[in-house]
Amino acid sequence: MDAKDSAPEVRNLKQLLQYQDKAVVSRMLVKNSAGSVTLFAFDGNEGLSEHTAPYDALVVGVEGRAEVPIGGVTHLVGEGDSLLMPANITHAIKPLGGFKMLLVMIKGEVK
């Protein structure tokens, strides 16, 4: 969804997406040539396995907590926290119970 395709609207990220049993649920909020913004809700036993991405990604904790290993170093992300995951470095998302996060994918170099 491009921002130009919808009227401005205040949204509560905690309420915008609900947990589903044994699932990872996502909702794309913005997608354009510069990148994307996606909201995720992870059931307590679900996560994202170790992988790399070709772009920098910013994780913003919305609800709950998760361990986010990046290049072998584990970081704890909670509500209101942010963490930059650099491009081409292995990372994963390991929720500690239900966890909601906003993922901002940024195409190009972050300076």
Q: Over the stretch 71-86, which tens digit does the pLDDT of each residue have?
A: 999 999 999 999 999 9
User: 14-41, pLDDT tens digit by residue?
Assistant: 999 999 999 999 999 999 988 999 999 9
3-class SS of residue 81: coil
Domain boundaries of the chain, sorted by first residue? 3-106
Structure tokens at 28: 């794309």
CATH architecture classification, 3-106? Sandwich (2.60)
Count of CB atoms within 10 A of residue 72's CB? Answer: 7
For residue 78, the model assigns a pLDDT of 98
The closest of 39, 29, 42, 20 to 92, measured between CA atoms, is 42
Q: 103 has which bridge partners?
A: 38, 59
